[in-house]
A and B are shown apart, each in its own frame.
Chain A
Amino acid sequence: MLIKGRTWVFGRHVNTDLIFPKMWFRPTYEPGEMASHLMVGLDEDFPSKVKRGDIIVGGLNFGCGSSREEAAAAMKEAGIAAVVAPSFGRIYTRNCINVGLPIVVSPGIDEQVTQGDEIEIDLGQGFIRNPRTGYQARLPPMAPESLRLIQDGGIANYTRRILEERRKAATQTGS
């Protein structure tokens, strides 16, 4: 899984209140609605500037705080190709995996990228590269279970598959 994209760089301890402020919470969302509020707690113009295929680079503990899944889902909907940081909030990490958004731990990456740099991430081979500076680093291995969920397109596809298997099994036993 090779990902290349233009970067947007954010600081340390960016909490999910900032990524998706609660004033935009809704019980259900129209298509594109979540993406239209992405990162507005830090930059009101971000939704109009970000393009599909872009990469978000955060500092330590990116996505800490509230469990709101919108913080991950809005990125997925905006077409963010990956989010990279030295460390992440735990629930945000799960949420990214579950919505099928590649979430990449890379120590010190926030000091190796200037906003606008095009970077490359290879999840299969496990490296990250900034061609502008020549920086290259190996990525800490990702749990195979997590990688599989991301590659499957998230937990919704997984759940659908298991439910179908159960239903098939129930029909066979029933008949």
Chain B
Amino acid sequence: MHALSKIIARHANRESVEVGEIVNVTPDYVMLNDRGAARAVDLFRKMGGDKVYDPDQIVVVFDHHYPPIRQQDSVSQKRTREWIKEQGITKFHAGEGIGHVIFPEKGYAFPGALIFGTDSHTVTNSALGCLATGLGHSDIASYLALGYNWLRVPEIIRFDLHGGFKPGVCAKDIALRIAQLYGEDAAPYLGVEFAGPLVARLPMSERLVLCNMVIDFGAKSGYIQPDETTARFMTQRAPNLRWTAEATDSVSDYTRTIDLDVGEIDSLVAVPHDLSNIQSASTLSDVRIDEAIFGTCTGGRIDDFRVAASLLKGRKLAPHTRMMVNPGSREVYLQAMREGIIDTMVEAGAVVGVPSCGPCSGCHQGMLAPAENAITNASRNFRGRFGSPEANAYVASSATVVASAIAGRIASPAEFMEH
């Protein structure tokens, strides 16, 4: 069995499961974001739900519409707060950042865990060596009532990553390269494991970026085998938590393995409006950038802010370019302040917003006008995602986004690292 199968088996109270089998599982934690909570609670009641199965398994995070800008969201958040109280749910985070950034920070994600969430990017957590997957509102409502839901045991593909990065290239570029080579449906319904000597050297922040992006290849969950980096991360984040990592039995547990030399990868950009439309940043220098969108569950961690500061220090944004920054969490925000990164960003001309999903939720400051071009370290360049359907969104790494904000056009970070 693959480690992900073993995780499913354990949460189904079974010795073993077979690939393709459908089993009922009880997760360790279920994340409800503000929107997910409003919709799932509504559906939970319509299904005849009264008390949730286990309030301790539920984590509520307000990140999409927080602080609310529409009265309908204020009203629904008030209702959710009342519901949380009535249900005895104590894990509640409003204004503390994005669920997928908070989960690893607070130790809700851990090796061997099973995590559901009302959001497709729940897969981010799988970097810790767990199974983490997004579900719809009815699925979550049914779990709230019954304490379980069904999962199909997935086939697994493995990307073996090796080689060394060119200057300015990082995990995000690997994800874009996979989209380029294998398409947005590279892994439909599958588990995607990242392995190989390069992964062993990647810090947790970069592993989280890789696993965050697997949903945009169609995957059910990512996976990275827990190692010393994972153990160190857990000791820091949840020193008292006991966890058990699972391990894969044999090479026959993979339906496919793909070798990828990261040394061949340039700083890449997904051009509108599909993630598999990939070009090298250096070939797109005629694309004017009106707005850089920096943050999100893909690119809103402290390491992204450190990369931004290293490029922005002593520089200004191009006069015609604006930059919207939303830290991924309160902790990231505080740390970036302590390190002077927020100063550097604001001095360069950036605007800093609240720790939240930011413009990527489509409900926050920084929306685009028709015919404007934006570059973002978020995960998706879908039409209309950041405002006008007539705007163009380019997706790239944190380094490429910041380099482009300085240049006022799409630029490879290597241009600024050679100074």
Contacts and interface: CB of A to CB of B under 8 A. Distances in A.
Interface string A47-89: 0000000000000110011111100100000000000000111
Given A91-B136, A160-B47, 14 more contacts: A13-B276, A22-B362, A27-B76, A65-B216, A68-B136, A98-B138, A98-B142, A146-B22, A155-B138, A155-B142, A156-B141, A160-B48, A162-B145, A163-B47
A99 interface: yes
Find the residue from B43, B185, B363 having the highest chain A CB count within 10 A: B185
A69 B40 CA distance: 10
Given A27-B72, A91-B134, A98-B139, A65 B22 contact: no
Contacts of A61: 183-185, 188, 218
Contact of B185 (A41, A66, A87): A87
B362 A90 contact: no
B245 interface: no
Interface stretch (B91-99, B256-264, B291-299, B381-389): B381-389
Contacts of B150: 145
A27 B48 contact: no
B251 interface: no
Interface residues of B, number: 51
29 contacts: A15-B380, A18-B384, A22-B361, A22-B362, A22-B385, A25-B35, A27-B35, A27-B38, A28-B42, A61-B185, A65-B120, A69-B39, A69-B136, A72-B136, A89-B188, A90-B218, A95-B138, A95-B139, A155-B142, A156-B47, A156-B138, A156-B142, A159-B48, A159-B141, A160-B47, A160-B48, A163-B47, A163-B48, A164-B48
A58 B134 CA distance: 22
A132 interface: no
B20 to A, nearest CB: 8
Interface string A77-115: 000000000011111011100110000000000000000
Interface bracket on A:
35 or more
A84 to B, nearest CB: 16
Interface of A: 13, 15, 17-18, 21-23, 25-28, 41, 60-61, 64-69, 72, 87-91, 93-95, 98-99, 143, 145-146, 154-156, 158-160, 162-164
Interface of B: 22, 35, 38-39, 42-43, 46-49, 72-73, 75-76, 79, 118-120, 134-139, 141-142, 145-146, 150, 152, 183-185, 188-189, 215-216, 218-220, 274, 276, 361-363, 380, 382-385, 389
A130 B6 CA distance: 43
A13 B185 contact: yes
Nearest to A90: B189
Contact of B138 (A65, A99, A143): A99
Contact of B135 (A26, A88, A91): A91
Nearest to B221: A90
B271 to A, nearest CB: 14
B137 A90 contact: no
Nearest to A98: B138
Contacts of B361: 22
A65 B380 contact: yes
Nearest to A146: B22
Contacts of A94: 135-136, 139
Contacts of A89: 188, 218
Contacts of A98: 136, 138-139, 142
